Amino acid sequence: MKKFNLVAVSGSLRKASYNTALLHSIIELGRDRFDVSIQSIELPLFNDDLIDPDEPEDVVAFKRAVSEADGFLVVTPEYNHSIPGVLKNAIDWLSLEPGSPLGGKPVMIAGASPGILGTARCQIHLRQVFATNRANVLPGNEIFITQCKEKIDGEGLKDEKSIRQIEKVLFEYYNWIEFWKRNEKS
């Protein structure tokens, strides 16, 4: 099977982040279908003035990586019922027209939280932001890891039901990328 290349980011900078652990588990579960490069989102605060004459090198590298990838995988916590600032900042760097690296990009989203909604509110906001940038978020992409302290430990995701759901979404994500590649060619 042909593998697709993904760029992945974690919306948490915390060393012991549940979301970064979840990201590693997703990479492991998708290893037969995807090669994944995790990119840092510790980027400068977005400022239009930084674009001219030269963008910061780490921003240029991040934009290039996303632009060249077959898909963009985001695994993130929810902060204050929305997108963590560090992740929103990274997406803002990706968003400028013309030629946004997100335009037409197949996107998969996942998140973990200790609460009972598993980042659902953040994911709704992310969908709005990605729609604004004409990215193609996978329909039916529902990975909300609730009560994550009981499901994720130092070795990753342990919850069988969540693992099965992620396997299903990864299968659909692979087909989603193929669908958009066929569309590009026709």
Ligand X SMILES: Cc1cc2nc3c(=O)[nH]c(=O)nc-3n(C[C@H](O)[C@H](O)[C@H](O)COP(=O)(O)O)c2cc1C
In the complex, least distance from residue 45 CB atom to ligand X, rounded to whole angstroms: 17
In the complex, least distance from residue 21 CB atom to ligand X, rounded to whole angstroms: 8
Query: Which residue in the block uniquely carries the two structure tokens 């998140």?
Result: 111
17 or 133: CB nearest ligand X: 17
- In the complex, the residues that contact ligand X under the rule CB under 6 A are 12, 14, 17-19, 77-81, 113-115
In the complex, least distance from residue 79 CB atom to ligand X, rounded to whole angstroms: 4
CA distance 94 to 66: 8
12 or 95: CB nearest ligand X: 12
65 or 117: CB nearest ligand X: 117
